[in-house]
Amino acid sequence: MITKNITAIILAGGLGSRLRPFTYSIPKPLMKIQGKPILEYIIENLHKHKINNIILAIDYKANKIEKYFGSGKKLGVKLKYCLQTGHLGTGGAIKKAAKDLKTTFIVINGDNIANYDFTKMLKEHKKCKGIGTIALTEVNDVSQFGVVKLKEKRIIKFVEKPKKEDAPSNFINAGAYVLEPKIFNYISERKSSLEKDCFENITNKEKLFGFMHKGIWFPTDNFERFFIAHKKLKKHKF
């Protein structure tokens, strides 16, 4: 199985400032939609694809996340925790959490509920032989997302949160990645953004590919999106 021995890193350390005052007392990954924490949906989808080695990159109210999930045994997975200190950004958090990884790995943003097909995504990534593969989805309003320009499957331009008129397409970063360790050559050990400081700068140097995600995708990073996810998830089998 292609997913065997693959490790996934879930970025779950954000402050959740756009979901305050709720996140004053509870970290965003533990906020519940249809009675289940956001982070639990993500872990369950990984387990569905036999990806059971998971690192949670945590910071804000980290003890509550660790207390809730523990070893991960109840969900059929093995959880490790990487405490992020000093707000390293997505780039710095990934580099710290993945310091011991020597092979292909997965990274997932911890505030999206999505049924990514990681089995198929990994197969395409291996076939394309690039440094990374980004899950993409199509939206009408691109101004709050990372947007790509594609040549067939290859990403030839990546723009983080462009103005609508400057966007190269309507295909956006859906918050899940298959990456090779070589990506660390382009990520600072200090605070950095994987999207802005890395992806935007490597499309002319390395092969970066897009994977079209056609399934459920509900971002939950602000109140409007959170309540949309809560409402729409009723109608979908996850």
Q: Which residues are identified as catalytic?
A: 161
| Residues 112 and 220: beta-carbon distance below 8 Å | yes
* Sequence-ordered strand ranges (E) for 14-123: 32-33, 36-37, 53-58, 78-83, 105-109, 112-114
Residues near 220 by beta carbon (within 8 Å), at least 6 away in sequence:
28, 31, 33, 38, 111, 112, 113, 226, 229
Residues near 215 by beta carbon (within 8 Å), at least 6 away in sequence:
114, 115, 116, 117
Query: In whole angstroms, what is the distance from residue 159 CA to residue 147 CA?
Result: 5
